[in-house]
Amino acid sequence: MLTDSIEEVLRRAAEYAAFPLWTATDRTPPSPIPRAIPFAWPYAPLRELLLRASDLITAEEARRRVFRLLNPGTQGSCTTDTLFAGLQCILEGERAPAHRHTPFALRFIIEGNGAFTSVDGERLWMEPGDLILTPSWTYHDHQKDGPGPMIWLDGLDVPLFAFLRIGFQENWSPARSTLVDAQPDTSLRFPWPEMRARLLTEPGPYAVVPYLHRLTGAPISRTIGARAERLDRGGVTPRRQHTASHIYNVIAGHGRSTIADTVLEWGPGDTLAIPAWHVHAHENTGDETAFLFAYSDRPLLENLGLYREGVPGA
């Protein structure tokens, strides 16, 4: 005769490391619930602190002199649940040593000049507003010969690799081989003057231009995609909702973004995190045209068939 209670059955199942699904608290929810929260990192104070840190630790010692912009809602190196952002600085005469890793990286240049990233032996010069790519497993280092600091935003897919547990890297040991300047039509560098001109030829108060591989028209990587936006004075963007998460960096102008219930004010150099599925819209509240840079995990999601858009308010 069976006299077991459910509690007794579950206690005995637990001895075999088996547990009921019906009491689990992490069951699939009815809509996405990212851990990341809408958040903004102001550039001015972080720039001051990064420059101060640059006086106190060399790029060589730090290997990468980066402030990680960590989302308060997440754990680990996450700026959104799937994307990482950091602010990196190098000074005159410094070189951040070469390495390669499985995560993909982009650099969006915020300020400075006279520095380059070398990617597999090709020099990619950095100017403010440029986008520079270091694809997965390409050797890269950063070097600055001219005076003054160079500061950029690093964008990587490291949270994905932390989840998959296949993030790894290799340091470059021999002396660096001879460098050559990359061809002007390289798809590893997208100069700002070119992107700005494209944004200005687009019609309407709000324009979005994606960064695409120059020959194939594909997104800049299989995980991360990037775009630039122009939002004219007084302009407001449509409200959008999708399974991709975004990180924005403000190139120029002032405004505010409404992300679900959070309102974030922004100005030049600021970085914003927009978690997946949060309905969001941007507004130019300043007296000049705003230009924004953004990257997202949309290619990753599209490659897996997981990119979806919602209909806000529906």
**Interface residue list for ligand 1HN (CB under 6 A):** 64, 66, 84, 86, 88, 101, 105, 140, 154, 156, 158
By the 10 Å C-beta count (0-12 exposed, 13-18 middle, 19+ buried), 174 is classed as: exposed
CB 113 within 8 A of CB 185: no
Give how far Cα 201 sits from Cα of 126, 184, 228, Å. Answer: 24, 22, 13
Q: Which is nearer to ligand 1HN, 66 or 220 (CB)?
A: 66
Q: Which is nearer to ligand 1HN, 114 or 267 (CB)?
A: 114
Beta carbon of residue 42, minimum distance to ligand 1HN (angstroms, whole number): 20
Handedness of CA 166, 167, 172, 173 (dihedral sign): negative
Beta carbon of residue 298, minimum distance to ligand 1HN (angstroms, whole number): 21
Place of tokens 């005076």: 147
**Residues linked to residue 291 through DSSP beta bridges, in sequence order:** 230, 252
Beta carbon of residue 84, minimum distance to ligand 1HN (angstroms, whole number): 6
Q: Which is nearer to ligand 1HN, 106 or 231 (CB)?
A: 106
With CB atoms as reference, the residue minimizing the distance to ligand 1HN is 154
Beta carbon of residue 103, minimum distance to ligand 1HN (angstroms, whole number): 6
Beta carbon of residue 75, minimum distance to ligand 1HN (angstroms, whole number): 15
Q: What DSSP line would sit under 30-94, residue for residue? A: SS---S---EEE-HHHHHHHHHHHHHHS-HHHHSS-EEE---TTS-SS-SSSS-EEEEEEE-TT-
Q: Which is nearer to ligand 1HN, 95 or 256 (CB)?
A: 95
- Give the list of residues 6+ apart from residue 207 with CB closer than 8 angstroms, or none: 199, 229, 230
Q: At 12, which helix (H) or strand (E)?
A: helix 6-14
Q: Give dist(CA 181, CA 75) in Å, integer.
A: 39
Q: Which is nearer to ligand 1HN, 47 or 101 (CB)?
A: 101
Q: Which is nearer to ligand 1HN, 156 or 199 (CB)?
A: 156
Beta carbon of residue 152, minimum distance to ligand 1HN (angstroms, whole number): 9
Beta carbon of residue 207, minimum distance to ligand 1HN (angstroms, whole number): 30
- Give the list of residues 6+ apart from residue 308 with CB closer than 8 angstroms, or none: 242, 243
Q: Which is nearer to ligand 1HN, 277 or 295 (CB)?
A: 295
The DSSP symbol for 17 reads T
